[in-house]
Chains A and B, each alone.
Chain A
Amino acid sequence: MSDTTNKVQRPLSPHLQIYNLPLTAIMSISHRITGVSLTLGMLIVAAFLIAAGSSEAHYNLVMIVASSKIGLIILFLWSFALYFHMFNGIRHMFWDAGRFLEKDQAMRTNYVVLMFAVVATIVTWLFGCPYISEIISEVK
């Protein structure tokens, strides 16, 4: 009977670090990394909801942390990860429908996804955050 464990020491193909990853592969792993990070990012939303249902002191604490410099940096990264995952996810829908699967189309849509994510993040922070000029000058 055949055994599932491989006892013979066969030569192995070079592992992931050896390859110079193309952008498509970087986008693919980034989709996973942002996905896992966004799960952690949902803890921000959860913290607000749970604190608001708990007490005013808890809510104020969460709001102070979220409005702090570190909080804003995390929110900024969160918004970019969110847009990246969302637009790349939309591309996944097209792939599932059998569109854009050719190598050159995958390469071109890489840039489309990145462009949408960057523009959406910039638009969100420029038009969504009235304190943006203060934040930029503080960071400087």
Chain B
Amino acid sequence: MSENKYKDSFATPLKKAKGLGSAHDGSHHWMMQKVTAIIITPLIVWLIWSIIGLQGASYDEFRFWLAQPANAVLMIILIFSVLYHAVLGLQVVTEDYISSEWFKIMNIIGQKIFIMTLGILCIFSILKIAFTVGV
């Protein structure tokens, strides 16, 4: 049956077999999940500490806080690492629970586009504030 599928094509059954195989990036995926987790852990403690200090902060207070070089840099590292970690995690969950191949792939692509856009918006805002406040 499966051989006939490629009867009118130059593609050999090897193409199908390869398509079902490993993507060869599993270890890198796993490793980056761990590396980002290690980066995030102390930064999350810093984030919660900062949120506690910023309760009810006015617009100017918040912008002054974020414009401090240490805060701006830590926030950029946090946003980047958390969103990277989220992309990897969401991909695993999607791959495990969605069985329809095209819907799964569309989901993963959609997640990546959404999260990348979100990350760029955040980092752009941080840099804009850091470069304009107090100038």
Q: How far is the CB of A13 from chain B (nearest CB, A)?
A: 17
Distance of A59 Cα from B55 Cα, bound (Å): 13
B residues less than 8 Å from A128 (CB atoms): 48, 51-52
User: Which listed segment binds B: A17-25, A47-55, A103-111?
Assistant: A47-55
Complex: chain A residue closest to B63, CB-CB:
A52
CA–CA, A82 and B44, complex, Å: 8
- Separation of A102 and B120 alpha carbons in the complex (Å): 43
Minimum Cβ distance to chain A for residue B115 (Å): 8
**In the docked arrangement, what's the CA distance between A1 and B66, Å?**
63
With a CB–CB cut-off of 8 A, which chain A residues contact B1? 1, 3
Q: Beyond A60-B59, A129-B55, is A52–B66 a contact (Cβ under 8 Å)?
A: yes
Please indicate the chain A residues that have their CB under 8 angstroms from the CB of B52 in the complex. Answer: 124, 128-129
Residues of A with C-beta under 8 A to B62? 48, 52, 59
Among B77-129, those with CB < 8 Å from A are 79, 82-83, 86, 89-90, 93, 115, 118, 121-122, 124-126, 128-129
Query: A119 at interface (Cβ–Cβ under 8 A)?
Result: no
- The CA-CA distance from A124 to B59 in the complex, in Å, is 24
Q: Would you call A50 and B125 a contact (CB within 8 A)?
A: yes
- Secondary structure dominating the interface of B: helix
A82 / chain B contacts, CB cutoff of 8 Å: 44, 48
Give, as a whole number of angstroms, the nearest-CB distance from A101 to chain B. Answer: 17
Whether the pair A53, B55 counts as a contact (CB closer than 8 A) is no
Residues 40-93 (chain B) with a chain A CB within 8 angstroms: 41, 44, 47-48, 51-52, 55-57, 59, 62-63, 66, 75, 79, 82-83, 86, 89-90, 93
Residues of chain A with a CB closer than 8 A to B55's CB = 67, 129-131
Give min CB distance, B86 to chain A, whole Å: 4
Alpha-carbon separation in the docked complex, A92 to B89 (Å) = 14
Tell me which residues across on chain A come within 8 A of B83, comparing CB atoms: 42
Contacts of B57 in A (CB 8 A): 63
**Contact status A79-B41, CB under 8 Å:** no
